[in-house]
């Protein structure tokens, strides 16, 4: 993810109390993100809700669904590569 996409997401998660952000002890240019106690306590509940939603969406076809997602991801990567190559030609 690009920084301009990730930064607002991180800020929102911090505001909602789901993650903490602290300056890295080993690299002053970076930050370390960690789940808060609140997030850890709710992790199992959230995971169960995700599983329930997935079951409603894909039912017994979970492996087929994952396969389709993987194919879509691979296609997206190939498209991004072609676009990048085309952009290089115009430089």
pLDDT, one tens digit per residue, over 77-90 is 999 999 988 888 87
pLDDT, one tens digit per residue, over 44-90 is 899 999 989 988 888 888 888 889 999 999 999 999 999 988 888 87
The 8 Å CB, 24+ separation contacts for 27-35 are none
Degrees (nearest 5) of the Cα angle 20, 22, 24? 140
Question: Burial code of 31-60, b = ≥16 C-beta within 10 A, e = fewer?
Answer: eeeeeeeebeeeeeeeeeeeeeeeeeeeee
CB 68 within 8 A of CB 61: no
């Amino acid at each position: 993810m690009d920084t301009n996409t990730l930064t607002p997401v991180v800020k929102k998660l911090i505001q909602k109390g789901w993650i903490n952000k602290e300056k890295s002890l080993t690299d002053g240019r970076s930050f370390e993100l960690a789940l808060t106690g609140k997030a850890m306590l709710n992790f199992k509940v959230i995971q169960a809700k995700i599983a329930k939603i997935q079951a409603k969406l894909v039912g017994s076809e979970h492996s087929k669904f994952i396969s389709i997602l993987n194919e879509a991801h691979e296609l997206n990567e190939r498209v991004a590569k072609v676009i990048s190559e085309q952009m290089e030609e115009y430089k």
